[in-house]
């Protein structure tokens, strides 16, 4: 089995590279920008085209595997993580960046078996950085090993977070109160790349000590979370305890103490889980 998943990961890397080319080419064309749940939840034909390209390519080689893809879920497919081998796809992570040519845009492919991540691939396609991790085998960027920062002091840290695409005033208030608490620790700085996957790769690379966000989806973090843990980092729920990738909340940090301090400062809330059927939301 081990070799089969290595094979699948090599295939994912090749697909992500091809997808990245499509994304880069599309930046030069006229874009048709559409919206989904709100006027700030953007999608383009390229998001849909890249997702189909990835799914079709995987189906050719692994016809029995399952998929969770952002744009397929948006089109009404269930977000269902079973024990079967499942590819978890975010065709463009950072669609708002893509629309504005803000240069942090990623193709993210996670792969899970028995609900356990086996590999993660994040291709930051405008930087041409290929981040990979295989369970138990470390994390890499363009083939070079990654290691999280060894900073133990949150006051000497950069923390990444995002505002997401929800503009519900209550959620925005909680985001701002968390941000205020974190800034007032005080930390060296707060940053956000506009892509959950790239934020997680920044943690894995040791450039930022931690990333947290409430409102993410499983496709935003499936690949990045394995890249963080294989680079020596820790994952936590925003109320402490283990991360549930369907819960739409995550803290990823270089050290447990830094993750715990962030948990202490966060004003948490619970968006509808990814596996909640639309009728119950
Ligand atoms: C979004 C990005 C953004 C994060 C949002 C995500 P998308 O993904 O990762 O940084 O704040 O929560 O939904 O929609 O660009 O794939
Ligand atoms: Ca989106
Ligand atoms: Ca995303
Ligand atoms: Ca996306």
Question: What ipTM describes this predicted complex?
Answer: 0.98
From 216, 245, 252, mutation site for ligand 1 pocket: most ligand atoms within 8 A of C-beta: 216
Residue 196 near residue 220 (C-beta atoms within 8 A): yes
Residue 17: CA atoms inside 13 Å, Cβ hemisphere, count?
Answer: 10
Catalytic residue among 46, 95, 132, 161: 95
Out of 47, 93, 209, 230, which one is annotated catalytic? 93
227, 204 Cβ separation under 8 angstroms? yes
The H-or-E segment that residue 6 falls in is helix 2-27
Atom of ligand 1 at shortest range from CA of 98? 15
pLDDT digits (tens, 9 = 90+) for 209-266: 999 999 999 999 999 999 999 999 999 999 999 999 999 999 999 999 999 999 999 9
CATH 3.30.540.10 holds for 5-145 = yes
pLDDT (tens digit per residue) in 143-202? 999 999 999 999 999 999 999 888 889 999 999 999 999 999 999 999 999 999 999 999
pLDDT band for 281, please (50, 70, 90 cuts).
Answer: low
Written out in words, the top-level CATH class of the domain with range 154-264 is alpha beta
Per-residue model confidence (pLDDT) at position 240: 97
pLDDT for residue 2 is more than 60: no
Kindly list the distances between the CA atom of residue 168 and the CA atoms of 70, 175, 195, in Å, as whole numbers in the listed order: 21, 11, 20
* The overall pTM is greater than 0.90: yes
Query: Which atom of ligand 1 approaches the CA of 90 most closely?
Result: 16
Domain ranges in the chain are: 5-145, 154-264
| Residue of 51, 88, 94, 99 best suited for mutating to test ligand 1, as the one with most atoms within 8 Å of CB | 94
Per the model's pLDDT, the better-predicted residue between 281 and 164 turns out to be 164
Rounded Cα distance, 38 and 171, in Å: 15
């Amino acid at each position: 089995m081990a070799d089969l998943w290595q094979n699948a990961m090599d295939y994912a890397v090749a697909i992500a590279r091809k997808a990245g080319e499509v994304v880069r080419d599309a930046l030069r064309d006229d874009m048709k920008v559409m919206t989904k749940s709100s006027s700030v939840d953007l999608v383009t034909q390229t998001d849909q085209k890249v997702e189909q390209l990835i799914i079709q390519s995987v189906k050719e080689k692994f016809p029995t595997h399952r998929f969770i893809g952002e744009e397929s879920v948006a089109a009404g497919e269930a977000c269902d993580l079973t024990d079967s081998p499942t590819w978890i796809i975010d065709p463009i992570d950072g669609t708002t960046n893509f629309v504005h040519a803000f240069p942090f845009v990623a193709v993210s492919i996670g792969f899970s078996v028995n609900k356990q991540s086996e590999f993660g691939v994040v291709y930051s396609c405008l930087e041409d950085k290929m981040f990979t991790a295989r369970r138990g085998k470390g994390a890499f960027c363009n083939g070079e090993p990654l290691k999280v920062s060894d900073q133990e002091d949150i006051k000497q840290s950069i923390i990444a977070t995002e505002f997401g695409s929800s503009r519900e005033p209550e959620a925005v208030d909680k985001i701002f109160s968390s941000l205020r608490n974190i800034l007032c620790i005080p930390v060296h700085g707060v940053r956000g790349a506009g892509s959950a996957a790239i934020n997680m790769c920044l943690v894995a690379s040791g450039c930022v000590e931690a990333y947290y966000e409430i409102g993410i989806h499983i496709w935003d973090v499936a690949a990045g979370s394995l890249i963080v843990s294989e680079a020596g980092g820790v994952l936590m729920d925003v109320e402490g305890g283990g991360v549930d990738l369907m819960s739409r909340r995550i803290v990823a940090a270089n050290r447990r103490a830094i993750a715990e301090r962030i948990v202490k400062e966060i004003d948490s809330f619970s968006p509808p889980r990814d596996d909640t059927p639309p009728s119950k939301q």
